[in-house]
């Protein structure tokens, strides 16, 4: 088992969601796809091919790099042009200890990421899908659940969020009716 089964299940659910023949869990068209971290290169290839297959079926599909959104968010947060971002970060690392800088960025980066990502996805219609690539590049600043919860109610398109990981964790996989509450609504398509 592997990519063939995972992508087959995802594509079937996505096409059904976009065409109105499948109702996603909690009626939230967000799909998280977990894969082993060693599969990162293959994941990028698989999800780009998925985007192309959806387009060939005359469905709206776009791949969005979370790494590019991170760069935009950091440039906005640090009030510098994108071209100067690397030198600005090096300068900040020299001025502060790394844990302090990481803490400061973690506090303010989620709001800036939400702005950058929402701006990119805002115009996508209800019958389209955005595939958010490179989730691993946001660690340790953002988690998949915080990205998706920040998008809910702000965009209309379906979202696929692939991310590297080997376990779901008790909260992530908790059903919404669980007394502790589900970690995030939407569907998980685990690696098998």
Identify the band that residue 42 occupies on the pLDDT scale cut at 50, 70 and 90: very high
Whole-structure pTM value: 0.85
Half-sphere exposure of 52 (CA within 13 A, CB side): 6
Q: What angle do CA 143, 146, 148 make, to 5 degrees?
A: 110
Question: What would the pLDDT profile of 62-87 be if each residue is shown by its tens digit?
Answer: 999 999 999 999 999 999 998 998 99
Which domain range does residue 108 map to?
3-189
The total number of structural domains in the chain stands at 1
Q: Residue 77 sits in a domain of what CATH number?
A: 3.40.50
What is the 8-class DSSP label of residue 47? H
Cβ burial of 34 (10 Å; 0-12, 13-18, 19+) is: buried
Strand ranges inside the chain, DSSP E: 30-35, 60-65, 128-133, 158-164, 187-189
Question: What would the pLDDT profile of 130-170 be if each residue is shown by its tens digit?
Answer: 999 999 888 878 888 888 888 888 999 999 999 998 765 44
């Amino acid at each position: 088992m592997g990519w063939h089964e995972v992508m087959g299940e995802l594509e079937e659910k996505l096409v059904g969601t976009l065409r109105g023949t499948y109702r996603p869990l909690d009626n939230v068209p967000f799909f998280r796809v977990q894969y082993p971290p060693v599969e990162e290169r293959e994941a990028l290839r698989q999800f780009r091919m998925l985007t192309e297959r959806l387009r060939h079926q005359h469905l709206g599909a776009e791949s969005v790099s979370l790494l590019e959104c991170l760069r935009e968010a950091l440039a906005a947060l640090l009030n510098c042009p994108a071209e100067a971002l690397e030198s600005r970060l090096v300068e900040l690392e020299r001025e502060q200890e790394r844990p302090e800088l990481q803490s400061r960025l973690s506090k303010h980066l989620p709001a800036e990421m939400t702005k950058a990502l929402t701006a990119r996805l805002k115009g996508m219609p209800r019958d389209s899908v955005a595939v958010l690539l490179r989730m691993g590049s946001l660690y340790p600043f953002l988690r998949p659940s915080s990205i998706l919860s920040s998008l809910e109610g702000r965009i209309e398109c379906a979202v696929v969020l692939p991310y590297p990981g080997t376990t779901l964790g008790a909260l992530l996989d908790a059903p919404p009716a669980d007394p502790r509450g589900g970690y995030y609504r939407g569907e998980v398509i685990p690696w098998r």
